[in-house]
Structure 1
Amino acid sequence: MGGVRNPGRGAETTGRATIATPGAALRRHPLRLLVTSWPWRSLAYLAMTPAVSMMWALTCWPLLALAGLPLGHVERWRLRWVDLRPVPNPHTSDASTGFAAWTRQRARDRATWTELLHGVVLVPLSLLIFALLSVVLLAPAATIATSIALFVILVLGIDPTAVTTVSDLPGSTVTENPLAQLSFAALGAVIMILGLHLVTLAAEGQRHLTRLLISEPDNDHTERLHDLTRSRARITTAFDDERRRIERDLHDGVQQRLTSVVMTLGALRYQHDRGADIIPLIDQARADAQHAIDELRDVVHGIYPAALREHDLADALDELAARAEAAGLRASVHIDLPDDLPDEVAVGIYFAASELFTNVAKHAQATAVLLLAQHKPDGTTYVTVEDDGRGGARPDGTGLLGIIDRIETLGGQVAIASPIGGPTRITLEVPCAS
């Protein structure tokens, strides 16, 4: 379901974030990246690239246009080292019989040509990767090894110039100062740490290119696009339904009341001219006018909540909790929101929170409800409604679908946790600038 976050199978999760790629790990844990598996996965992935590229160039060229097929199978298998999400095969299903029919079908398959393009790109890319690994890993590793060896030689009192097998090693710097050798080793270690970060970044780039050429588009993005399309269709339908509701309410309610007022005023004028008692007619006109005002207020409330016209979002949410207490629920409220949120964000959050409170009151069989609302420094607003009810809330239910659609139109998402037996915890996350 669009907007509902569920960690993928096999992916590493830290807190609320799912880490499935080297790029995500680099963004999430830049300072402690080396204690995760991602730099080592990335190193193995990149180190195998030149070998795979050379083997493909030497053995698969006789296949001509179909040379990318075996490479695609190998690369989809290798991609799992640096991408924990599914890597589907992009080729169309094979309904042909016979080698000639199979060849024609593969030649018409777009994925066949993108896999061939991937092989062509992989050859120069493997040369760049080999140069990268040599500069950022092999050179500092040689510096560390020779510096430590020279440090040991100097500590033992041996003349380093006499040990040609050590002093002639790549990266060696002959000096008779043991501390200088330790400094060179430390410098090599720093360069290697930075190099592992660069290796992780390079693996993310190759991963993205490889998935683009030898697999189907990212499942998450594709599903997200489908969800947004369905969400837009539901929003359009809801907009049309709401417009018809407003027209019906105005026609059947306010318009009829105002028509009654006009008729009463006409009768009032007639009775006044005849000298009859007009007090009952005045009372009737006043009552009809008041009913028209009340019904018009109800219609307008469905368009823009009165609570937000009179207060900011924090007070409006506090009023929702107060109403829940009046309905018999124990309500706990923790709100930390600025008073200058964009109007569309405030309205969207208010209506979504109001629907959540309605669901708690009607369906959750809860005795207590908790409301948390806070605005983070990065500009994201979080609103959480948690109840101690029976749980089992369905993301595809009409009420939650409406909430998800409303929050997604603001660029946000909805996290739903509602196991059978409770509790139910639903969090609205909306990016905005205060």
Structure 2
Amino acid sequence: MAKSWQNELDKTKIGDFELGEFPWKDPKLSKPTDNDLSKQWAVVYGVWSYDDHKIVRKRITITGPTVDIRLAKAERIIKALKEVAGKVWVGTRPQGLPELRVTLKPGSDIEVSPSLPIAKAAHIYIAFCKKALAPNTFKSYRTGVMKLLGYLERHRRGNLALGKLEVADVNEFLNELITVEGVSNRTRNNIKGACGTFFNYFAKLDRSKKLKKQGNPFEDEDVRMLPFVQNKHQSYSLPQQKQYREACEKLGLDNLLTFCRWMYYTLMRPHEELRRLRVRDVRTKVIYVSGDTDKTNEGDYVDIPLPLELLIQEQKIRDYPGHYFVFSQEGTPGPVMVGPKFFYRRHIKVLEEMNLLDSGHDMYSWKHTGAIALWTATKDIELVRQQARHSNIKQTIEYLRDLGVRLADDDKIHKFPVF
């Protein structure tokens, strides 16, 4: 039997690809933590799609009668995929449109070196980001780079090369973001990060390694982050939650209240994810957040807590056609999702009723309110991480701290032994 399984292992197909240099996400094994053979095992990876013009998630299901056989198959598949990393694509490549091809490394007509003008580098980088990143991430990166180009033009240094950008230039640019552009400290810090990522992108492509040796001026110790007050996306206190419910009932905004409850339980983003949620993604115990809507371009899952499950059953969500959007203007699932301002306009009416305008409480606040409530009730940082779909615990800890959450069990300190 071992021989027959080895033959099947050797025949495992990776897929039908053609060569090229394209964006890529490394493969990894996705399996149950307890190695349960009755559950699905798969190797997941990301490959460039000409049809979707972005990295799409792919999976290869792993089967076998034992854990060792499945692990061996996964190892072979991952090794084979890594050998074609960045060299493959899927879909139908447009004929006569070579400009649609996105390269990770500079072509023969682009030489990445310290002498590459920042303006030219910016256009190369923005073109790459537009095709490789989620829409909102792309907008953030583009804004940062365009602000840098605006600074250079303002000082008549539009031809400045990457290698000539000094720490003093960076500090002047960041200072002018506040004094000339009028941005907040928080926005200034975000632009600093976006421009730092831009510089690192070309430092990695510079075959001479000179940019890397020179160091990233945006990450120099003399270029510091500025303090800022967290006054956006303020979470709702328990009394405010009660007032919000009462205001929605008074104004006849049951659909808005339901939308906010879903956000509270799922920790999904209102406009990019929850508003676009379809009936087919509401499954038995989890909700699938598709790669088209989440900010990483990868699909992921959130758990359905009991209160949300009861709400789902009350709304009879799963009885509607799978392609319907969970939220429509009619208050029930429908073929057309609500517009980006549909719930926002109604939310403003509720804030007016509560006298909370300009208080930092917005639609996004319900996501943060849910995260705080989940942590307070469970003190389970891993559970919060999974529901928030953070990549690691550190990100979750920083997220909660930014919300003013005390990451400690207050009762434990009282167990201090008496001396």
TM-score range, shorter chain: under 0.3
Larger radius of gyration: 1
TM, length-normalised to structure 2: 0.23
Which structure's relative contact order is higher, taking Cα pairs within 8 Å and 6+ residues apart? 1
TM, length-normalised to structure 1: 0.22
Greater helix fraction, Structure 1 or Structure 2: 1
